[in-house]
């Protein structure tokens, strides 16, 4: 009833759920194809970001303010 009050009807919610589910399925398929093509294990997003940020940190000496910005971007 609360959703109805805010103009979220059942049909639009079902469509949104279907769309989100389809996107999840597509992302999973793409991930599996990528894994097979690169012959490497799939990593969780957070782990990929952590590895990328470590690579960036060793590229050069970053000022403290720059490191804080990089940390914000990583989050």
Domain hosting 12: range is 1-42
Backbone angles phi, psi at 40, to 5 degrees: -135, 155
Same-domain status, 2 and 33: yes
Same-domain status, 48 and 36: no
Same-domain status, 53 and 32: no
pTM of the predicted structure, to 2 decimals: 0.45
Same-domain status, 38 and 49: no
Q: Concatenate the DSSP letters of all residues of 28-72 into one string.
A: HHHHHHHHHHHT-----HHHHHHHHHHHHHTTSPPPHHHHHHHHH
Same-domain status, 38 and 59: no
Mean confidence (pLDDT) of the chain? 85
Average pLDDT rounded to a whole number, residues 59-64: 94
Residue range 23-50, pLDDT digits in tens: 888 888 887 787 777 777 777 888 989 9
Q: How many domains does the chain have?
A: 2
Same-domain status, 34 and 47: no
| Residues in CB range of 70: below 8 A, 6 or more apart | 53, 56, 57, 62
pLDDT value at residue 69: 93
């Amino acid at each position: 009833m609360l959703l109805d009050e805010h103009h979220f009807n059942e049909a639009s919610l079902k469509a949104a759920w279907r769309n989100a589910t389809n996107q999840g399925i597509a992302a999973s398929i793409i991930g599996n194809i990528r894994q097979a093509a690169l012959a490497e294990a799939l990593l969780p997003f957070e782990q990929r970001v952590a590895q990328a940020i470590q690579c960036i940190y060793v590229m050069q000496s970053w000022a403290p303010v720059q490191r804080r910005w990089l940390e914000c971007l990583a989050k």
